[in-house]
Chains A and B, each alone.
Chain A
């Protein structure tokens, strides 16, 4: 969010509505209206003074109405833009033309009641729709006493309760009487999988978020008794099953049951539920959490009408399996929950993918209208250290607690300080001009600003330094607001002492600051895609669409991977072959890769037998799309399996039903889910098997309506719209029977006959039968990720899938810069998700290619080769493979930082046996002098005391 806020090429229009959207792909006109926030965003310093003076109360919508705020407020501290706004619905001035107390209170004069709605017309080439999701209507929640009893809350409200910035600062309390709830129940599938409210689909995310909330609640109170009532636990995502297991281990109870109702019961709530065996029970709880599903956004109809794209029957955006990010109107794309309920990683992946396709569409315009800032040349620094210290009052935020003049004078006495001053708001626009002037006037070559947090304001001041011809590294910030005046408001003396100490420590560090060069590394504008299945081909074609050459390396003798028979795959193969920018290598293997983002060199072999040829490819990025294959376990749930015409996997069954069995389907078939998955042989859920099995079951029923189809399952995971198929299958008479791990089905072959026996929890009895066929849902295993992981030095999970850099924020990037992953090599998933991921990976990988260079933050590590003893500790400890060994002129091994890959964590520096490694901006010298300056305070105090 902050990143988007800072980019000079992203304009953020908050408080804005779309009025109309006209035109066609490449040439849209969008009319928007921006509602006034009554605060001049650029002037607001987010000090929060106005909120404390505002006399009117208002329900805090951000905290789900569980809290009270004021009409003038900011939703949460990290909001972007970090600017307050006035809610016109409750502001006394805007409703009754009175008050205006906030106007004189605001020291930076940012409040402007004269603001009016502003209409604008934007000309754009492509549009991405991401309006998110809507709320489940409250009448659906009413049967659980929501609205009748305050301790029945939605999961969204419960999240606020758990959150440190929530209404009870992170404590979970009953809304009825503020007590800590001891017994908490979660009810799953509220407003999803519910024909009653026309939401037949599964919202996909609720099981996982309920588990997460339950775990956090358990952390808050380890004695809490938490029960989750569910129909099927749908933790089909990557590593999600493991999370559920952890929850169970922590004592969270999972009960497969339908909750009939929740009623107030004295101080408590009474929850009535029925289990599979038909018995009804009830239990008392202190709090009941409704795991509400994701509804389509409230203005979906309006958006669709305005832009001219179609919605599906649930009012979400209508998309195609093979073009999952495209709406029915060309040039308009969709990302996130509006494309159907999905979790954060999937939404982030979709948004990358959509941005990539959109930028491919408008690539002819690339580079136009982009803002590039230019700066004066950096001036030469003399030997003399000339430090300027600026101490900020921040209105009264700092000045009312810390004695700012005292701190400023104190700084003036320090070595190397040639100029010191106070300022009211050092971050204001005019203060930047003053800063520039003073740098010139006093020939300052180091700047120390004591104000707020470097995390928010360092970039701003560094910009000013660059404008003044100083290297941006010649800057140090002292945090005397967020970490001093605000948190020691009642101890002005101690806060002033602390400010002095911190300023002294910063000046001590500043004395040793050296300018650090801005480093950029050029990028080879080609890609390497490993794996020629649907994912790899989609990624390669997308890169080509963006105008980049790429090599596609396929292990087998032809493209297509797992889905060779699909017509879409055939279309892709055709497109790849025709595309001049894509070079295909079949029968090919990656042998070796060296280099780093922007400058990789790989050796691949291609061809069979005597015709094997070696190729050396230079490329800037790598996309891994090596996929997975069907798992064929030899034992399933303790039964030895002999695969035959009668005992098949689901994919074999599908093939049969498409091909020779087109008109023939068995009269009886037992499908066994999780055969070899979820702890049986593989530890994870393969995500797609349930849907595939249900599709096959429907196909069997279609061909042979009298066929007896029985599916033995643990949890049916037909998440999202696939839930419709599940409903359909049940209606068509497919029998779904759950089994428990302590009572597994037995599959045996007696002579020429198959026999399957299992426990039926509805009949409460063992059942034995002889089906014509058994179909096993066997899951999938990744293809040789271990070899590739070693070649590219990228990590894999315990299940041998590639481990992304950040599960939520960087779902298609690997920890090594310039290496991306998509498809089944990342985790099992259905085709539409593979395609989205491939589109996202190619979009992400195109970023360095479009830019043409990679910039390096100068805070990276650097090795003093004179001191380095070549012990290689740093190379093996670096989490980012950012240190390599090189030979010096005397042929001795020396470490060297690969600046483009370094993340500045400093592990190498702190583990170097000879202190040969230091970090830019955080050198040993700087940190040591900071520590010594800290020591001086200690001494001063001691002498004072004496």
Chain B
């Protein structure tokens, strides 16, 4: 697989009050960004257990983004 075709699988944990809201706002302003992110909404980044991150990698994520 060449690097051009390669589409990384990215898992995201976004805080409802901050990054998730920013992501919504990005949509409202029609900003464009790569479609690789799959988001799991949490009420606060405090909820993100290190085990969730490791499990994400176990399940095949190439990268994990946590946004507070």
Contact = CB atoms under 8 A, between A and B. Distances in A.
Interface of A: 48, 77, 164-165, 169, 453-456, 479, 481-484, 486-491, 494-495, 497-498, 501-502, 505, 859, 903-907, 909-910, 915, 919, 922, 924, 927-928, 930-932, 934-935, 937-939, 941-942, 945
Contacts of B1: 945
Interface in B15-57: 16, 20-21, 23-33, 35, 37-44, 46-52, 55-56
B49 A482 contact: no
Nearest to A498: B35
Given A505-B40, A945-B1, A165 B29 contact: yes
Q: Which of A907, A910, A931, A934 has the most CB of B within 10 A?
A: A931
A919 B38 contact: no
B38 A905 contact: no
Contacts of B40: 505, 927, 930-931, 934
9 contacts: A484-B35, A487-B27, A487-B35, A501-B38, A906-B43, A907-B44, A909-B49, A922-B43, A931-B59
Contact of A931 (B24, B44, B55): B55
Contacts of A938: 9, 59-61
A922 B47 contact: yes
Interface of B: 1, 7, 9, 11, 16, 20-21, 23-33, 35, 37-44, 46-52, 55-56, 58-61
B20 A455 contact: yes
A490 B25 CA distance: 18
Contacts, number: 131
Nearest to A481: B27
B39 A502 contact: yes
Given A482-B23, A489-B30, A937 B38 contact: yes
Q: Which of B44, B50, B58 has the most CB of A within 10 A?
A: B44
A670 B1 CA distance: 82
Contact of A453 (B24, B29, B60): B24
Nearest to A482: B27
A454 B29 contact: no
- Mostly, the B contact residues are mixed
A906 B44 contact: yes
Contacts of B16: 455
Given A453-B20, A482-B26, 9 more contacts: A482-B24, A482-B27, A486-B30, A904-B44, A906-B46, A922-B47, A931-B56, A934-B11, A934-B56
A454 B9 CA distance: 23
A533 to B, nearest CB: 36
A48 B56 CA distance: 36
A486 B38 contact: no
Contact of A77 (B23, B28, B37): B28
Nearest to B62: A938
B59 A483 contact: no
A397 to B, nearest CB: 10
A409 to B, nearest CB: 20
Nearest to A861: B47
A694 B51 CA distance: 62
A454 B38 contact: no
Nearest to B11: A934
Q: Which of B28, B31, B61 has the most CB of A within 10 A?
A: B28
A143 to B, nearest CB: 38
Contacts of A931: 11, 40, 52, 55-56, 59
Contact of A455 (B21, B30, B49, B56): B21
Contact of A919 (B26, B31, B47, B52): B47
Given A909-B49, A931-B55, A455 B61 contact: no
Contacts of A942: 60
B46 A935 contact: no
B25 to A, nearest CB: 6
B35 A494 contact: yes
A938 B11 CA distance: 11
Contacts of B58: 935
A922 B61 CA distance: 20
Contacts of B26: 482-483, 487
Contacts of B46: 905-907, 910
Contacts of A165: 25, 29
Contacts of B9: 934, 937-938, 941
B12 to A, nearest CB: 10
Nearest to A935: B59
B38 to A, nearest CB: 5
A125 B24 CA distance: 40
Contacts of A904: 43-44
Contacts of A907: 44, 46-47
A77 B55 contact: no
A483 B23 contact: yes
B68 to A, nearest CB: 10
B43 A495 contact: no
A393 to B, nearest CB: 16
Nearest to A936: B59
Nearest to A879: B46
B59 A490 contact: no
Contacts of A495: 35
A903 B58 CA distance: 30
A353 B16 CA distance: 30
B30 A934 contact: no
Given A455-B16, A502-B38, A934-B61, A910 B27 contact: no
A931 B40 CA distance: 8
A934 B20 CA distance: 18
A577 to B, nearest CB: 46
Contacts of A910: 46-50, 52
A76 to B, nearest CB: 9
A905 to B, nearest CB: 4
B5 to A, nearest CB: 9
Nearest to A483: B23
Contacts of B21: 455
A859 B43 contact: yes
Nearest to A499: B35
A302 B20 CA distance: 44
Nearest to A501: B38
A905 B60 contact: no
A487 B30 contact: yes
B27 to A, nearest CB: 3
Contacts of B29: 77, 165, 169
Contacts of A501: 38
A484 B33 CA distance: 10
A498 B38 contact: yes
Given A910-B50, A931-B52, A934-B59, A905 B43 contact: yes
A479 B39 contact: yes
B47 to A, nearest CB: 3
Contacts of A483: 23-24, 26-27, 39
Contact of B28 (A482, A489, A909, A932): A482
Nearest to B33: A487
Contact of B49 (A169, A903, A924): A924
A859 B43 CA distance: 9
Contact of B32 (A487, A915, A927, A945): A487
Contacts of B48: 906, 910
A55 B42 CA distance: 41
A900 to B, nearest CB: 17
Contacts of B59: 931-932, 934-935, 938
Q: Which of B7, B9, B42, B46 has the most CB of A within 10 A?
A: B46
Closest 3 CB pairs of A and B: A906-B47, A935-B59, A482-B27
Q: Which of A481, A502, A905 has the most CB of B within 10 A?
A: A905
Contacts of A924: 49
Nearest to B20: A455
A486 B56 contact: no
A483 B24 CA distance: 6
B55 to A, nearest CB: 5
